[in-house]
Every structure is written in C-alpha cells, then in structure tokens.
Amino acid sequence: MRLRAVTQTDRDLIAMHRYPDEADQAERPVYAAWVAGALARDRYLGFVAVNDGGGGEEVVAGAGLTLLDWGPSRGDPQPDRGRLVNVWTHPAVRRQGLARTLVTLCLDAARNRGITHLSLGTSPAARGLYTALGFEPSGTEMTLRR
C-alpha cells in the first residue's frame, strides 16, 4: 500500500468517489471539471491509498480537502476555511485505518496552511472516526476548531 497526493489525472476518480451511485453518473463530469479547476488553483488537496499490482495502480481509498475563501472573521484572521470531502474506502479494505490516515494527511495539509476551521458532512457510520479526530457535531455537520 502506498499513499500519494492526488493529481489532475485523478479528477474522474475523485468525481466517482463523490458520486458513487449510478443514478448520479451524470453529475460526475461536472464535478471532475470542478476538481480539475480547483487543483489548478491549489484550492483542492487530496490523498489516495493505492495498491501497485501487476495490472497497474489501483486506488483503494481517498480523501480530499476543499479550501474555501471565507474571509477573516472576528477572532480569526485566517481567510480560508477547509471542508473535508470525498472520503472513500473500497469495501474490501475498510476498517484498516486508511480513512483515518488519509483524513489525517488532509488535516496536516490544512494545519500547514494555517487553516483553523474545518467542517464536513458525515454518515452515522463515520461519525466515530471524525469524533476521534477532534471534530464535534454542529447541526448536520461536524466541525473542528484549532
């Protein structure tokens, strides 16, 4: 298993992680184009876990961080906020710590940029992971303030 940062060549894969259901297939090209632009502007950071098998590279998990131009606010001069997105793990390798590792890489990237506020949307199944990483419930979202 190897970890690497996402690149422009991953935009379609990231879109599939965002919209995994076939019913949402029409959304994928639009999202892939957005990811390509966000990567080019350095407003999307992401990481994937890959298996390098005989058939080439297979992505088995991923996580991304969207940087939002929020503007400074009272008590926080940092103009950016972070939103954790596209956390996905292939069912065959779930519960092995890959999501935690990739999310931690995203959190480290946010910290390196001075981002103090992060948010995410989550499912009940993943809430424990995010709580363990310091996120707190906030309505239908979870947030982390440093």
The Cα 94–Cα 13 span in angstroms is: 18
Q: Which domains does the chain have, with CATH numbers?
A: 2-145 (3.40.630.30)
Model-wide pTM > 0.85: yes
pLDDT in tens, 41-53: 999 999 999 988 7
Length of the chain: 146
Three-state secondary structure of 22-86: HHHHHHHHHHHHHHHHHHHCCCEEEEEEEEEECCEEEEEEEEEEEEEECCCECCECCCEEEEEEE
Per-residue pLDDT of the chain (146 residues; tens, 9 = 90+): 899 999 999 999 999 999 989 999 999 999 999 999 999 999 999 999 998 876 778 999 999 999 998 888 887 788 899 999 999 999 999 999 999 999 999 999 999 999 989 999 988 888 899 999 999 988 777 787 87
